[in-house]
Structure 1
Amino acid sequence: MTTTLTTEALTLGYGDRTIVSDLSLSLPAGKITTIVGANACGKSTLLRGMARLLTPAHGRVLLDGHDIHSMPTKQVARRLGLLPQSPIAPEGITVTELVAQGRHPHRRTFARWTAAEDEIIADALEATGVLDLADRVVDELSGGQRQRVWIALALAQQTEVLLLDEPTTFLDVCHQVEVLDLLTDLNRSRGTTIAMVLHDLNLAARYADHLVAVREGTVHAQGTAEEVLTEHHVAAVFGLDARIIEDPTTGRPMVLPLGRHHVRGLRDVSPVNRGNHHDAGKVSPAS
């Protein structure tokens, strides 16, 4: 059975400050969802709420139709994993030791370690391309290597749903693509439902089956990349005047921000008059 994760009128915050308000969202099962939005719009708070790290002020998070806060902790951890933004590994821990922590939700108290678990860890290390780093201390690795190790931990946890908060942060372009390709492989080979927060709109468009744009703690738009990444929505969500063209590699929308100094013949064109990316291919002539 494919696991479903849904929010119903979810309201989240810290103290008296509301960050996410009356937000309803259903992650398409077995698909990749990317969540985009301006800084401080509630993206990370939403993921924390969906992972049961925050208690809703109102509304519910449902895992296969059951309120996630009513479920036993280990049961949730066996089915849903969260890779937070900039996770911190214990000092001196090796790659294998860190990845092995992904097996904790599946183990009984005082149970003996088994060969089957060693095999799961080895498979996770191999799938993420870090098997040759198994005995290295995590602190000694590069940013890209560490991120692959954290994803290996998530693989070893063998959850049906994986939430990732900005998994490409601090990585160069090569490693960003490498990590997103790895997550796509995971989705396609295991059917894992993936939801991740990304800042790069073009990478979000390229890798998403479903895209969600969050504005001020609510869902402003959701759907395919073509439906969400229109010039109107980009302006509304990010306050950004942009041109949307077709990515020549994927056919997906590509966002071209318009600054004040690098615009050819577009200075008098308002974003509200350029409602979708189909019109965006008609570039005005240079003045």
Structure 2
Amino acid sequence: MTADRSLEARGVRLGYGDRVIVDELDLTVPGGRITAIVGANACGKSTLLKSMARLLTPRSGSVLLDGKDIHRLPTKRVARDLGLLPQSPIAPEGITVSDLVSRGRTPHHGPLARWTRADDEAVAQALDATDTAAIADRSVDELSGGQRQRVWIAMALAQQTDVLLLDEPTTFLDVSHQIDVLDLLTDLNRDRGTTIVMVLHDLNLAARYADYLVAMAGGHLYGAGDPGVVLTAETVRAVFGLDSRVIPDPLTGRPLVLPIGRHHVPAELIGRA
């Protein structure tokens, strides 16, 4: 999504069965930037992302893509504009890495369209970018959790959408590959102008990589804006119920959260922000 595209939620109320998870939430995603959504477990982060990806219809309110209700747009058109990496994707049994990544090209094909050189190039670039080209012929079933996660990201990249939504993209990855993935998403944003919206659990990675930070609590928007403004000790306490100190990251100047627990912390700091 380049800066002239738009994605927003207006007064969305979301839930499953009789349970309301997100209530009357408004959010405008900055076009052409990286947005990270943070919050405690079960606060509605993934539910909000599903509604923005057209997987969950709001009970009230609407999600708008370029000013149009995303749930009323043709499925294929949405798939060409918006890609999603869900939290726990499931691959068909026995499928190879290259075949799974190739499925990212499906939205670009009509009923009679043939596979083209552009499709080959998109898949090859996605495999290279995620360091999965060497395992392209292997079955996804044989891979480690971290390898599978990189393959799913490759499929999302092969889709070449303007908007990319990712639910916990660093899950199952070791520290090195977490940084690789977030660097990759930053490159995608800077080189192609792709809008990135991702749910992250690591507050410090969210603060370092996001241009725009969204903090959720209890199904509501607690705060949204520049990470340096949103991510404070007060926010950490309100959203996570955790005392902390927030200091400037010595490498980036962004907020760095230092949790305060009951152990390994000087007694005079316990309970202080």
- What range is the shorter-chain TM-score in? over 0.9
Shift of 1:269: 5.2
Q: Which runs of 5+ in 2 are unaligned?
A: none
The alignment status of 1:253 with 2:255, answered yes or no, reads yes
Task: State whether residues 9 and 26 of structure 2, in contact with CA within 8 Å, keep that contact through their aligned partners in structure 1.
Answer: yes
State the aligned residue count: 271
Shift of 1:165: 0.4
TM-score scaled to structure 2, two decimals? Answer: 0.95
Please name the residue that 1:43 is paired with. Answer: 45
- SS of structure 1 residue aligned to 2:215: strand
Task: State whether residues 3 and 161 of structure 1, in contact with CA within 8 Å, keep that contact through their aligned partners in structure 2.
Answer: no
Alpha-carbon distance in structure 2 between the residues aligned to 1:184 and 1:177: 10
Task: State whether residues 228 and 255 of structure 2, in contact with CA within 8 Å, keep that contact through their aligned partners in structure 1.
Answer: yes
Equivalent AA in structure 2 for residue 130 of structure 1: T
Task: State whether residues 167 and 196 of structure 1, in contact with CA within 8 Å, keep that contact through their aligned partners in structure 2.
Answer: yes
Task: State whether residues 168 and 198 of structure 2, in contact with CA within 8 Å, keep that contact through their aligned partners in structure 1.
Answer: yes
TM-score scaled to structure 1, two decimals? Answer: 0.91
- SS of structure 1 residue aligned to 2:204: helix
Provide Cα deviations, 1:122-181, integer angstroms capped at 9, x if missing partner. Answer: 122122222222211112223332222111111111110010001111222112111111
Task: State whether residues 211 and 222 of structure 1, in contact with CA within 8 Å, keep that contact through their aligned partners in structure 2.
Answer: yes
Deviates more, 1:85-94 or 1:196-205: 85-94
The alignment status of 1:135 with 2:117, answered yes or no, reads no
Deviates more, 1:83-92 or 1:111-120: 111-120
Out of 240, 243, 246, the residue aligned to residue 245 of structure 2 is 243
Alpha-carbon distance in structure 2 between the residues aligned to 1:181 and 1:268: 35
Please name the residue that 2:78 is paired with. Answer: 76
Equivalent AA in structure 2 for residue 159 of structure 1: T
Equivalent AA in structure 2 for residue 78 of structure 1: R
Equivalent AA in structure 1 for residue 224 of structure 2: Q
Shift of 1:185: 1.2
Deviates more, 1:43-52 or 1:85-94: 85-94
Please name the residue that 1:126 is paired with. Answer: 128
Q: Residues 183-198 of structure 1 correspond to what in structure 2 (within 5 A)?
A: 183-198=185-200
Shift of 1:219: 0.6
Please name the residue that 1:100 is paired with. Answer: 102
Shift of 1:56: 0.5
- SS of structure 1 residue aligned to 2:268: coil
Please name the residue that 1:13 is paired with. Answer: 15
Q: Residues 1-287 of structure 1 correspond to what in structure 2 (within 5 A)?
A: 2-267=4-269, 270-271=272-273
Percent identity over the alignment is 68
- The alignment's C-alpha RMSD in Å is 1.3
